[in-house]
Structure formats: structure tokens, C-alpha cells
Structure 1
Amino acid sequence: MDRLLTLEMFVAVASEGGFAAAARKLGSSPPAVTRGIAALEARLGTVLFHRSTRAVALTDAGAAFLEQARRILADLAGAERELRGAAAEPRGQLYVTAPVMFGRLHVLPVVGALMAEHRELMVRMMLIDRNVRIVEEGIDVAVRIGALADSGLKAVRIGWVRQMLVASPAYLARRGAPQTIAELAGHDLIGTMGPRAAGEWQLASARWRLDPRPRLVLNTVDGALAAAEAGLGIANLLSYQLADALAAGRLIALLSGEKPPAFPVHLLFESSRAGLPAVRSFVEAMKGRARVAGLG
């Protein structure tokens, strides 16, 4: 049986959770899918699924092989798309994910400009303060802030941001401004959830452990920013998140000598998608946005 077809069957069974459902998705029959999986297992010399009368589940070997199979199929699909229209105008659907505030401030303007220029381009944006699984969730391009894991994805760095400690004038008038890292222990701290949530803050001269723990923890950057502006404590946020509040005087930067290492801002995508007109246009537009916004 055709090797590519058996890979498609394998991914479909894993995704749909059964042979019958996979057959419906592929427009095939359950016996044909069963034969295809058997042929694949025979060729690989290993069992890919645990089978019972009620359910089908991946074996350890099957789970390990699934990501590779998905990548092979994605690479092939990307190569076909690139060959059909390497120089074509961006069209179809582009699926992008980014942190909430960064997406609102910097990605949405880029998306708006691209959609105005390319009438056949459609965009889905997932703005969320967590790292989503790019391959599994079908993401075309993801914005990531911070160190990257070794994922095998293509990464294009477009800029840098840095952490800043801030508080409102009202809070500082009431509690005073810390002059050293050690003095933070006597202040009310505002923490956040998500990728940057941690039990310590990385400052220039030391890692400062948040002990006692923050009095207030919020699950969104908007919430932490609002809490800091309301005078509820000292927050540790990123420079792009604070630009407007600092310029307007609603927040004041603290411990200015303690400048932590900057965080890189990357665009992540599968290498097979690099040649797609929509992805290529988005990446170039985001590079330009980063330069204009002073992130480069």
C-alpha cells in the first residue's frame, strides 16, 4: 500500500480516535484503513495502536511517531503549496497566535494592513498568554517572547523587550520607593500567571525570590497593569506593556540600575510554511513593525 496514504491513515486514526471515524474523514472504508495501519505497522516493525472493541489508543511508539508523521505530511503539503504559488498574492487563511497585549498593540495593526492590501486574505488570531502547540493546533505563525525551546521550528527574531519594575505615584507616596533589591521584601508585589509566572524575578545583579509570595496574582497582563496603576503594589512587566503608562506618568520605573537581560521576540513557524505568500508577507510586515516600534 502507498506509504503516504498509510501515513495519512495513521494520523487520521490518531486524530479521530478510531478507524471508522478516520475512514469517514478520508472518504475511505474502515477495512481499508485497518489494512493500511497493519501495513504501516508491518513496515515499521512495531505496534502503533492498542486496539479494543471500545477504543483505540496510541502505544508509546505510536505517540512518538505521530509528531514525525504530522511533520512529514505538513512538509509535503507546504512544498506543494509553495510550488503552486511561490510568488502568488497572499490569500486563504492565515492562523496567527500571540500574547494578548503584544497581539493587540503590534500584531493587529499588521494584520489589518495586510487584509486591506490583500482582499482574498483571511486571518484567525488567537491572543492568549500561554504557549500553544503550533503543529498540533495548526498555527501558521506564533509570536513568542523569551527563550525558545529546541523544537525544530524555524525562528525569526524581530526584536527585544525587557522587564521593568513599576509602581504608581500613589503607591510610592504611601509606601516609599525601594532603593535596593532587598527592600522589595517589605512591599506589596503583584504577580502574573502564564509563561513568565515564577517564584522569582530575574534582575540584573541577582535572581530575587518572591518571598513572601505576591499579595495579588492576576491571569492577564491588562489586569496586572491596572492593579499597578491603581496603587495595589509593585509589578514586574515588559517594556512594551508599560510604554503608555510610563509616558503618561501613571506608573514610575523603579530600581533603574537593575536592568534584567532583554527577552527576544521571535516569530515561530514550520519550515514548510516559510514559502507561503501569506506567511512570508506577515513575517516581513512584523519585522517592519518591530523597527518602527523600537523593538529591534
Structure 2
Amino acid sequence: MDQVAAFTTFVRVVEAGSLSAAARSLPASLTAVSRQIAALEAHYGTTLLLRTTRQLALTDAGRLLYDRAKAVIAELRDVELALSSQDAQLSGRLRVSAPSLMGRLLIAPLLADFLRLHPDVSVDLLLVDRPVNLLEEDVHAALRIGRLPDSQAVARKLAELTMIVCAAPSYLQRRGTPATPADLAGHDCLVFSDVPGGGEWRFRMPDGTSATMHLRGRLWINSLDALAAAARDGAGLVRVPSWQVADDIEAGTLTRVLADYELPASAVHVVMPPARLGSPRTRAFVDFLALRWRSNNPLRALAVS
């Protein structure tokens, strides 16, 4: 039995609703379609389809095989497309999503080189601080920070990101340096948020547990750039990615605090929907991004002094 051909026939029968309709669409003889379904049932030792004079119904085993067979066929088509396009000139539109700050500072500057390498590809860069729905929003590749939800998306790890708390030396001289997360209750905190209100920062405690601190925020901004600028001006404590303020920490314009309580680094992935696996331009972009970040990691962690 040609299992791939039998899978294709089975899927077509289920979607067409009858053996005869599937035979017409393949095209194949009704006898050949019936034999392939019978061969599948014999091979797996179970009934896949319940046949009546008016309709077909899937058994539980048939429903399982239908889902798996569709996935196998789609995967084979992806492989065929990838191999047939391997030597072809890349072309078409590529839609990429990234968090605003990371996309603006770490992705956008690389796009000119990518476009020079692939002159027939166009790129849409969507900068949003929310998880996008890859399929509904027609996004081919998206950067995600932290734990990935269970999904059918394909993920490739690029780097790790550490969040740190810091403030200007002038603020710390004026208000004191917090020694533990609990001390934040007496400090002015600069909070990343779209909506003013109570903010929360999480920390890892000495016993390995995590603790959430409810903040008395004095400034809420939905821009990490603006928050870091306010911190440099002495407005308060801010929690930002370490890479964003690495130069400030080195120059002494910001001072890192509560380093012993920082959470472990979060993974940064680029995710793609399964249907994009066979897209040469998507694969080329992901490979390009991974190579650039591997040779010069823009999310470098700061040494804890």
C-alpha cells in the first residue's frame, strides 16, 4: 500500500463527503478509492468510516487518522516547496512582528542588509507590545519573550533577556538604595503600562520562591525608552531589559539595584506558524536573524558587580 496516496484519498473522501465525489475530484475510479479505504482499515485493523446510503461518518479512529493524515500531507507539501525553491530567487512579502523597543532598535537596523541580500523580498515590520495571532494577523515570523504558550507554532530560540531594576545615582542619594524588594514600598517607581494604576514587579527570593511587589507608581508610560529617560533624570526606579541600559550602567548614569533578587533570564524566540515552514523567505529571514544575533548578541547580560 502506498500510504501517502492512501492518506490523500482518505482525506479527500472525508472532505468530499462520499466515495464517488472523492473519485471525481482526484480523479480516480470509484473502485480504486474503495480499495484504498479498505486497505487503510485493514492496515490499522479498525473501521475508519461508517457508510450509509446517504452519508459517511468518521469513527473515533477515523477522526484521529484524518487529523494526522492532513498534517502529514501538509508537511510533505512544505518539504516539496522548500526543496523545489531552494535554488530559486527569494521573492514576495514578509510580515514580521516584534515588541516595540526590540523591533525598533534590534530588528529594524538589520533589515537593510536583509533586503540587499534578497532584492525581490519586501518586509512589513509590525511593532506592538502584545502577542500577535500569527494566522489571523497574517504574520510570518514574530519575536516572543518568555514562556511560550502551547501551540502548533514553530519556535527557534535566539537569545535570553534579563530584566533589571535601576535608578540614577542622584535619586539613590536622595531617597536611599532599596536593599530588598519590600523596600520598594517607600520608593517612586516608574511603571511600564498602557493604563495608570497599580504596577507589579516580580522577584526571586533567597529561598528560590518568587514574590510579586505591588508598586506605588508615580509615572506610567507605555514606552520603555521614555521610562529609562525619566530614570536617568532622577524620577525614580525603573525595571527595564539589561541590554537597553547597558551603556548607562557602564557610564554610571544609572545604577543597578536588587541584583540578588532578579528573576532568571527569559528566552527570546522567533516563532512561525507551521504553514510557513516551507516558505523560503521566512526561513531565510529567521536564519539571517539567528546568525546576526549569534555573532553579536544584542541582549548581552550585564555582569553582577
Determine if the TM-score, normalized by the shorter chain, exceeds 0.5: yes
Q: CA 1:240/1:5 → structure 2, altered by over 3 Å: closer, same or farther?
A: farther
Which secondary structure does the structure 1 equivalent of 2:204 belong to?
Answer: coil
Which stretches in structure 2 are left out of the alignment for 5+ residues? Answer: 1-11, 18-54, 59-70, 301-305
Which secondary structure does the structure 1 equivalent of 2:159 belong to?
Answer: strand
The amino acid that maps onto 2:297 is A
Higher relative contact order (CA 8 A, sep 6+): 1
Q: Does 1:130 align with 2:133?
A: no
Report how far residue 84 of structure 1 moved. 4.7
Q: CA 1:252/1:156 → structure 2, altered by over 3 Å: closer, same or farther?
A: same
Q: CA 1:217/1:109 → structure 2, altered by over 3 Å: closer, same or farther?
A: same
Q: Deviations over 1:159-189 (max 9, x none)?
A: 1011100111221121121122221111001
Larger mean Cα displacement after TM superposition, 76-85 or 202-211: 76-85
Report how far residue 213 of structure 1 moved. 3.5
Tell me which residue corresponds to 1:293.
297
Q: CA 1:4/1:246 → structure 2, altered by over 3 Å: closer, same or farther?
A: farther
Which stretches in structure 1 are left out of the alignment for 5+ residues? Answer: 7-41, 46-70
Tell me which residue corresponds to 1:117.
117
Tell me which residue corresponds to 2:44.
none
Distance (whole Å) between structure 2 residues aligned to residue 103 and residue 267 of structure 1: 12
Instruction: Supply the RMSD in Å over aligned alpha carbons.
Output: 3.2
Identical amino acids, percent of aligned pairs: 34
Normalising by structure 1, what TM-score? 0.69
Does the 8 Å CA contact 2:202/2:211 hold for their aligned counterparts?
yes
Distance (whole Å) between structure 2 residues aligned to residue 184 and residue 293 of structure 1: 32
- Residues matched between the structures, number: 236
Equivalent of 2:220 in 202, 217, 220: 217
Tell me which residue corresponds to 1:63.
none
Normalising by structure 2, what TM-score? 0.67
Does the 8 Å CA contact 2:201/2:214 hold for their aligned counterparts?
no
Does the 8 Å CA contact 1:106/1:289 hold for their aligned counterparts?
no
Q: Which of the two has higher C-alpha Rg? A: 2
Q: Deviations over 1:67-121 (max 9, x none)?
A: xxxx999979856753652332332111100011111222123322110111111
Q: CA 1:151/1:234 → structure 2, altered by over 3 Å: closer, same or farther?
A: same
Q: CA 1:282/1:134 → structure 2, altered by over 3 Å: closer, same or farther?
A: same
Tell me which residue corresponds to 1:237.
240
Which secondary structure does the structure 2 equivalent of 1:203 belong to?
Answer: strand
